[in-house]
Each structure stands twice: as C-alpha cells, then as structure tokens.
C-alpha cells in the first residue's frame, strides 16, 4: 500500500486547527477536491507556511493519515502575486474557491475543472484590467454545466446564476456579501 504521494494542487480554503496547525482544502489535478492536514504551519519559523497560502498553485507531498492526509512538504509553482494585490480580484478568487469547494464532491477527479480554475487564477493575475463579474458568472455557468445541473446550451446571467447556484448548494453564497461591499 502506498503511504506517501505527491499531487499538484490549488489551495482554495484554510481553517485554523489548534495553536499551530491548519486544515487545508485543495483542488488537485488527479484526485479532485481533498482536505489535508498541515502540521505546524502557523508557527513563526515554519518553512512551508508561505507556500500554503490561499490561491497558491503548489505541488504537495502527502502521507496517508487516519482522518486527513498530512502535508509533509510543499513545492511552489505560482503564488499569483498580482491577483492578491487587487481587492476585487481577491473577492473574485474567493467566490471561485467557494463555488468549487461547495459544488465538487470530495476525491473525484475533475481535471477540466482544475484546469479552468487554474486558468481563471492566471487571468485574474494579469496586469490588465479584468471584468471580475463576467469571469465569475462565466465560471458559475461552466461549473453548473460541467456538473450536469443545467444543459450545455443554457447560459444564466445576473441574479439568475446566483439563485441557481444557491438552490443547487442549498446555502447562500457567502462571498456575495464581500463583493457587494466592494461596489
């Protein structure tokens, strides 16, 4: 049985656990959505902490654990520095991450969705001005179509897309509050 493995991933959620640990939700290319445990990354001297930041593209080295797989090492690919300097882009990345986290089932490969999220982070990371609302609505339509909630021929706009997403998730979209405050 394989006890350790590596995986290319996008970090889409972090939750503090205890004094120095975090539970991190990642979207991986091969295993889909995964929840992993990062021991000691909130310590001041942690060498892995800067690489395990939200929206980073990394290669994770993991070992199998009882509840969660444990991060043993991390190799950075891209930290999307420009994206993180614009508040509206950060809000857009948060909404993309929230939709991905809530709609994708755990441990099921979705390479097309991984590639789309990575591509959107790359677009949001460009210097040129971006229409974040158009990017987010396009991603919402893509996700609903890819997961089979709406037909490929249907494209929702405006409040219709948020209403449909909330119906599918059976929860309100939290990042809409952040986006509303930016306007």
pLDDT at 175: 82
pLDDT at 101: 94
| DSSP category for residue 85 | G
pLDDT at 62: 94
- pLDDT < 50 regions, the chain: none
pLDDT at 151: 92
For the CA atoms of the chain, what is the radius of gyration?
Answer: 17
**DSSP state string for 90-143:** HHHHHHHHHHHHHHSPBT---HHHHHHHHHHHHHHTSSS---HHHHHHHHHHHH
CB neighbour class for 79 (10 Å; exposed up to 12, middle 13-18, buried from 19): middle
127 shares a domain with 63:
no
Cα separation, 17 vs 37, in Å, equals: 9
118 shares a domain with 71:
no
pTM of the model: 0.90
15 shares a domain with 64:
yes
Last residue of a domain, one of 78, 111, 131: 78
Count: domains in the chain:
2
122 shares a domain with 55:
no
CATH number of the CATH domain containing 26: 2.40.50.140
**Domain that includes residue 73, residue range:** 4-78
159 shares a domain with 93:
yes
69 shares a domain with 88:
no
Does residue 102 contact residue 162 with C-beta atoms inside 8 Å?
no
Q: How far is CA 85 from CA 78, 80, 81, 89, 96, in A?
A: 15, 9, 7, 8, 17
118 shares a domain with 96:
yes
104 shares a domain with 37:
no
135 shares a domain with 93:
yes
């Amino acid at each position: 049985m394989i006890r350790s493995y590596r995986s290319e991933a996008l970090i889409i959620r972090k939750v503090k656990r205890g004094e120095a640990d975090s539970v991190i939700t990642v979207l991986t290319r091969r295993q889909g959505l995964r929840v992993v445990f990062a021991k000691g990354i909130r310590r001041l001297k942690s060498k892995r902490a800067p690489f395990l930041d939200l929206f980073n593209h990394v290669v994770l080295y993991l070992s199998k654990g009882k509840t969660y797989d444990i991060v043993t090492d991390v190799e950075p690919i891209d930290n999307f520095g420009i994206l993180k300097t614009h508040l509206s882009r950060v809000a857009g990345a948060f909404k993309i991450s929230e939709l991905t986290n809530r709609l994708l089932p755990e441990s099921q490969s979705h390479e097309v969705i991984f590639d789309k999220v990575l591509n959107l982070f790359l677009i949001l990371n460009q210097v040129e001005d971006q229409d974040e609302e158009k990017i987010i609505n396009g991603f919402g339509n893509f996700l609903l179509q890819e997961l089979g909630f709406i037909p490929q021929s249907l494209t929702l706009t405006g409040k219709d897309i948020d209403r449909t997403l909330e119906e599918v998730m059976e929860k309100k979209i939290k990042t809409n509050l952040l986006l509303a405050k930016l306007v």
